[in-house]
Amino acid sequence: MNEMIHIVNESRRRFLQVGAGLTLALYFRPGPAQTASAPTGEAGDAVLEPNAFVRIGEDNTVTVIVKHLEMGQGVYTGLPTLVAEELDAAWSQLRVEGAPADAKRYNNLLWGPMQGTGGSTATANSFEQLRRAGATARAMLVDAAAQQWKVPAESLSVSAGVVTHPASGRKASFGELVKTAATLPVPSEVKLKDPRDFVFIGKPVIRTDSRAKIQGAAIFTLDLRLPDMLTAVVAHPPRFGAKVKGFDASRAKAVRGVEEVVSIPAGVAVVARDFWAAQKGRNALTVDWNESAAFKLDSATIMAQYRELARQPGAVARKDGDPEAALANAAKVLEAQYEFPFLAHAAMEPMDCVVQLRPDGCEIWNGEQFQTVDQATLANLLGLRPEQVKINMLYAGGSFGRRANPHSDYLVEAAAIAKALGAGPLAGRPIKLVWTREDDMRAGYYRPLYFHSLRAGLDKDGKLLAWQQWIVGQSIMAGTALDGMVKNGIDPTSVEGAANLPYAVPNIQVDLHSPKLAVPVQWWRSVGSTHTAFSTETMIDELAQAAGKDPVQFRLDLLGQHPRHAGVLRLAAAKAGWEQPLTPGKAGERRGRGVAVHESFNSFVAQVAEVTVRADGGFAVDRVVCAVDCGIAINPDIIQAQMEGGIGFGLSAALYSAITFKEGQVEQSNFHDYPLLRLGEMPAVEVYIVPSTEPPTGVGEPGVPPIAPAVANALFAATGQRLRQLPLRLT
Amino acid sequence: MFNLTVNGRSVSVDAEPDTPLLWVLRDHLGLTGAKYGCGMALCGACTVHLDGQPTRACVTPVSAAIGRRVITIEGLDSKAGKAVQSAWEKLNVVQCGYCQCGQIMTAAALLAQNPQPADADIAAAMAGNLCRCATYVRILAAVKEAAATLKGGQDHE
Ligand code: FES
Ligand code: FES
**How close is the Cα of B36 to the center of ligand 1, in Å?**
6
**Nearest by CB to B101, which of A6, A216, A346?**
A216
For range B27-52, the mean pLDDT: 98
The amino acid at A671: F
Strand order in the sheet with A267-272: A258-264, A267-272, A230-235, A431-434, A352-358, A361-366, A389-393
Q: Which residues of A touch B12 (CB under 8 A)?
A: 6
Q: Is B1 on the interface with A (CB under 8 A)?
A: no
Contacts of residue A472, Cβ cutoff 8 Å, sequence gap at least 6:
A306, A307, A309, A310, A314, A450, A451, A452, A512, A513, A515
Whether residue A103 is found in the same domain as residue A178: yes
Q: Tell me the chain B residues in contact with residue A73 when contact means C-beta distances shorter than 8 Å.
A: 95
Residue A724 falls inside a structural domain: no
Section A218-223 average pLDDT: 98
Contact flag A396-B74 (C-beta cutoff 8 Å): no
Q: What pLDDT is stored for residue A5 in this prediction?
A: 28
Residue A297: CB atoms within 10 Å:
16
> Residues in chain A, how many?
731
Q: What is the pLDDT at residue A45?
A: 78
Q: Give the pLDDT band of residue A18 (cuts 50, 70, 90).
A: very low
pLDDT confidence tier of residue A4, bands split at 50, 70 and 90: very low
| Distance of residue B6 Cα from the nearest chain A Cα, in angstroms | 9
State the distance from the centre of ligand 1 to the C-alpha of B100, rounded, in angstroms: 12
- E-assigned strands of A130-240? 157-159, 162-165, 170-173, 230-235
Residue closest by Cα to atom 3 of ligand 1: B41
Which chain A residues have a beta carbon less than 8 Å from that of B105?
A: none
Kindly report the nearest CA distance between residue B136 and chain A, in angstroms.
5
Is residue A230 pLDDT above 70, yes or no? yes
- Give contacts of B4 with chain A, Cβ < 8 Å: none
Q: Which of A633, A669, A704, A662 is nearest to A81 (CA)?
A: A633
Q: Is residue A730 part of a domain?
A: no
Residue A12 is assigned to a structural domain of this protein: no
Cα–Cα dist A279/B83, whole Å: 37
CA–CA dist A506, A322 (Å, integer)? 8
* Beta sheet of A684-689, edge-to-edge order: A590-600, A603-613, A619-629, A684-689
CB-based contacts of A631: which residues, under 8 Å, 6+ apart?
A602, A603, A692, A693, A694, A695, A696, A697
What is the per-residue pLDDT for B78?
Answer: 96
Same domain, A560 and A646: yes
Taking 50 as the threshold, does the pLDDT of residue A235 lie above it?
yes
How many domains is chain A partitioned into structurally? 3
Give the closest of B11, B101, B130 to A676, CB-based. Answer: B130
From CA A117, how far away is CA B13, in angstroms rounded?
41
Residues A582 and A489 in one domain: yes
Report A:497-556 residues touching B (Cβ under 8 A): none
* H/E stretch holding A189: none
Question: What pLDDT was estimated at residue A411?
Answer: 98
pLDDT number for residue A481: 86
- d(CA A91, CA A84) in angstroms, rounded, equals 7
Give the span between the Cα atoms of A717 and A593, in whole angstroms: 6
pLDDT for A701 beyond 50: yes
A710-725 mean pLDDT? 98
* Structure confidence by residue, pLDDT tens digits, A22-67: 222 222 233 322 222 334 444 447 999 999 999 999 999 999 999 9
Residue A338 and residue A192 share a domain:
no
Give the per-residue SS3 of A65-102: EECCCCCCCCHHHHHHHHHHHHHCCCHHHEEEEECCCC
What local confidence, expressed as pLDDT, does residue A423 receive? 81
Domain membership of residue A556 as a residue range = 299-343+446-719
Assign A337 to helix, strand or coil: strand
Alpha-carbon distance values, A439 to A297, A374, A436, A447, A522 (Å): 20, 21, 5, 16, 16
Q: Is residue A451 one of the residues assigned to a domain? A: yes
| Same-domain status, A463 and A607 | yes
The predicted model gives A133-151 an average pLDDT of 98
Is residue A129 in a domain? Answer: yes
Q: How are beta strands A446-447 and A450-458 bridged, if at all?
A: unpaired
Q: What is the pLDDT of residues B106-157, one digit of tens each?
A: 999 999 999 999 999 999 999 999 999 999 999 999 999 999 999 984 444 3
Centre of ligand 1 from the C-alpha of residue B130, in Å? 9
Domains, chain B, in order of start with CATH, read 2-75 (3.10.20.30), 79-150 (1.10.150.120)
Q: Is the CB of B98 under 6 A from ligand 1?
A: no
d(CA B2, CA A381): 43
DSSP label of A168: T
Torsion of CA A418, A424, A428, A431, to 10 degrees: -40
Q: Which of B11, B38, B130 sits opposite A6 (nearest CB)?
A: B11
Query: Which residue from A627, A557, A589, A654 is spatially nearest to B134, judged by alpha carbons?
Result: A654
Closest Cα of chain B to A647: distance in Å? 8
The span from the CA of A309 to the CA of A312, in Å, is 5
Cβ of B29 within 8 Å of Cβ of A7? The answer is yes
Confidence (pTM): 0.94
| Secondary structure percentages of chain B, helix, strand, coil, to 5 | 45, 15, 40
Cis peptide before A727 (omega within 30 of 0): yes
Local confidence band at A8 (pLDDT 50, 70, 90 cut-offs): very low
CB nearest to B27's CB, from A218, A275, A685: A275
- Nearest C-alpha neighbor of A621 from the set A663, A577, A591: A591
Residue positions counted in chain B:
157
Sign of the dihedral defined by the CA atoms of residues B117, B119, B124, B129, in that order: positive
Residues 273-292 (A) with a CB less than 8 A from some CB of B: 274-276, 280
Cα angle: B5, vertex B8, B10; to 5 degrees: 40
Ligand 1 center to B120 CA (angstroms): 23
**Integer Cα distance of A602 and A695 in angstroms:** 10
Chain B from 80 to 139: CB within 8 A of any A CB? 85, 88-90, 92-101, 104, 120, 122-124, 126-127, 129-139
CA of B110 to the centre of ligand 1 (A): 18
Give the closest ligand to the alpha carbon of residue A436.
1
DSSP A330: -
| Residue A502: partners with Cβ closer than 8 Å, 6 or more residues away | A558, A559, A561, A562, A565, A599
Contact A360, A388 (CB under 8 A): yes
Q: Are residues A188 and A247 in the same domain?
A: no
Q: Tell me whether residues A648 and B136 touch, CB distance under 8 A.
A: yes
Shared domain for A303 and A169, answered yes or no, is no
pLDDT in tens, A428-441: 999 999 999 999 99
Alpha-carbon distance of B138 to B135, in angstroms, equals: 6
- A337 and A206 together in one domain: no
The verdict on A197 and A59 lying in the same domain is yes
Mean model confidence pLDDT for chain A: 93
| Cross-chain Cβ contact A209/B94 below 8 Å | yes
Is B4 at the interface with chain A, CB within 8 A? no
Query: Are residues A549 and A462 both part of a single domain?
Result: yes
Taking Cα atoms as reference points, which of A24, A31, A36, A34 lies closest to residue A65?
A24
CA-based nearest distance A521→chain B, Å: 20
Q: Does ligand 1 have an atom closer than 6 angstroms to the CB of B37?
A: yes
- Read off the amino acid at residue A190: V
Among A434, A457, A482, identify where a domain stops: A434
Instruction: Give B90's contacts in chain A (Cβ within 8 Å).
Output: 206
C-alpha distances out from residue A534 to A450, A498, A705, Å: 12, 10, 7
Query: CA B155 → CA A40, B19, B139, distances in Å?
Result: 34, 43, 18
Residue A206 pLDDT > 60: yes
Poorest-pLDDT segment among A112-121, A394-403, B44-53: A112-121
Q: What is the pLDDT of residues A403-426, one digit of tens each?
A: 999 999 999 999 999 999 988 999
Q: Report whether residue B133 contacts ligand 1, using a CB cutoff of 6 Å.
A: no
The predicted pLDDT at position B122 comes to 98
What is the residue type of A10? E
B-chain residues near A5 (CB < 8 A):
29-30
On whether any CB of chain B is under 8 Å from the CB of A620, the answer is no
Q: Establish if A430 belongs to a structural domain.
A: yes
Q: Which of A523, A531, A537 is nearest to A472 (CA)?
A: A531
Do A422 and A473 reside in the same domain of the chain?
Answer: no
Is pLDDT of A680 > 90?
yes
Find out whether A70 and A209 touch, Cβ atoms under 8 Å: yes
Last residue of a domain, one of A400, A434, A468: A434
| Chain A: closest CA distance from residue B90 (Å) | 7
Question: How near does any CA of chain B get to the CA of A214, in Å?
Answer: 6
CA–CA dist A402, A69 (Å, integer): 12
A623 has which bridge partners?
Answer: A610, A684
Do A209 and A63 belong together in one domain?
yes
pLDDT average, residue stretch A268-293: 98
In a domain, A5, yes or no: no
Ligand 1 site, residue B36, Cβ cutoff 6 A: yes
Binning pLDDT at 50, 70 and 90, where does residue A128 land? very high
What is the predicted pLDDT for the residue at B152?
Answer: 84
Those of residues 245-264 in A touching chain B at CB distance below 8 A are 256
Contact A225 B134 (CB under 8 A): no
The predicted structure's pLDDT at residue A22: 25
CATH label of the domain that carries residue A368: 3.30.365.10
Phi, psi torsion values for B142, nearest 5 degrees: -70, -35
Predicted local distance difference test score (pLDDT) of residue B156: 43
* Distance from C-alpha of A682 to C-alpha of A624, rounded to nearest angstrom: 10
Give the residue from A726, A294, A236, A277 showing the smallest Cα distance to A440: A236
Say how far apart CA B83 and CA B76 lie, in whole Å: 11
Residue type, A483: D
pLDDT level of residue B1 (50, 70, 90 thresholds): confident
- For residue A352, the SS3 value is strand
Q: Has residue A78 been placed in a domain?
A: yes
